[in-house]
Amino acid sequence: MRRIIVQGSSRNNGNTNKIVQILQNHLECDLINLSELDIHQYDYENGNQNDDFMSTIKKIVEYDLIIFATPVYWYAMSGTMKTFFDRIIECLKTEKEIGYRLRGKNMAAISCGSDSAEHEGFFIPFEKSAGYLGMNYFGHIHTWIEENDPSNSVLELIKDFSKKVK
């Protein structure tokens, strides 16, 4: 199974990236870092066709499992990640063949907050979007980093999750 992690944090090497790196030690996964890309807000007039969104989603549809990794910002996914999800609507409107290619693929999600509290409903947008896109929702884990490094319980969660998606 070809796997890719799509990281959507406001800092490349922050806490979400620490979690992503640990996951990558367990699972062979490529990585796309959205904050390194130029992806604009969704535009009803399709005025942003020359940014990096379409080339990025075209790469992503080559994979069987797409793992979205986001920090928790105000009880929700990051703005970077939300913008990316908003843009996926273009794959249902103008670039339909890309949308068709998402069907049957697997989606999973990982959040990284500052404590163990998983906010109710946090993963609903991932789960529902997967359903809408005809993707299988593999599941999710909430992780956190309180100081500088993840606790043993977070390391265990990541290990179990990686076994599940292998």
Ligand X SMILES: Cc1cc2nc3c(=O)[nH]c(=O)nc-3n(C[C@H](O)[C@H](O)[C@H](O)COP(=O)(O)O)c2cc1C
The smaller minimum CB distance to ligand X, of residues 29 and 110, is found at 110
In angstroms, what is the minimal distance from the CB of 114 to ligand X? 4
For ligand X, the binding residue among 31, 37, 73, 127 (CB under 6 A) is 73
Q: Is 72 in the site for ligand X (CB under 6 A)?
A: yes
Q: Is 57 in the site for ligand X (CB under 6 A)?
A: no
Question: Is residue 107 within 8 Å of 126, Cβ to Cβ?
Answer: yes
10-49 residues in contact with ligand X (CB under 6 A) are 10-11, 14-16
> Which residues in this chain contact ligand X in the complex, by CB under 6 A?
9-11, 14-16, 71-75, 112-115, 145
